[in-house]
Amino acid sequence: MSGAHRDAEATTDAFRFDSPPRRSDGQLAWESTITAPTEWVPYVYTDAEVHTLTTRRRISVASLVCGGLGLLVGIFGVWGIVLSLAGVILAVVARNTEHRAMALWASGLVAGLAGVALGVGWFIYVTQTILV
């Protein structure tokens, strides 16, 4: 009866709700409440877990360093593309593992992509001047 209106003249309802079993004193039976939690209990982190989660930034720092060095080397030649690609790959890995270090891995990703663009530009420039 999806989308159908309820008939005001009907004495019985097509939709039935089964109420949970009750005891003789009117209270709900214990078996009916065992599957439904009554309160939410948050997970409590230990000090070691908090320290590990907040200080995990190694891959993000590595992506920033590789991306920055690749960008600097990419200014002067095509060889910066290797470091820039390493920075991009490390930034993508850090994006999935180090959520709190977003500024670091995002900077490494931008620097790595800029270094890759410079390396591709140098490659196109060199191939055009040698082939002409």
Whether residue 54 is contained in a domain is answered as yes
Helix (H), strand (E) counts: the chain: 5, 0
Identity of the amino acid at 16: R
**What is the SS3 assignment for 107?**
helix
C-alpha distances (whole Å) from 121 to each of 31, 36, 85, 112, 128 are 71, 62, 15, 14, 11
pLDDT the model gives residue 78: 85
> What is the rounded CA–CA span in Å between residue 63 and residue 110?
10
pLDDT the model gives residue 120: 92
Give the list of residues 6+ apart from residue 70 with CB closer than 8 angstroms, or none: 80, 81, 82, 83, 84, 85, 86, 87, 111, 112, 115, 116, 119
pLDDT the model gives residue 110: 96
Q: What is the pLDDT along the chain (132 residues), one digit of tens a residue?
A: 455 556 666 666 555 556 656 666 766 666 655 555 556 667 778 888 877 777 788 999 999 999 999 999 999 888 899 999 999 999 999 999 888 889 999 999 999 999 999 999 999 988 898 876
Whether residue 73 is contained in a domain is answered as yes
Looking at the structure of the chain, the number of domains it has is 1
Its domain, for residue 82, covers 47-131
pLDDT the model gives residue 114: 96
Whether residue 42 is contained in a domain is answered as no
Whether residue 66 is contained in a domain is answered as yes
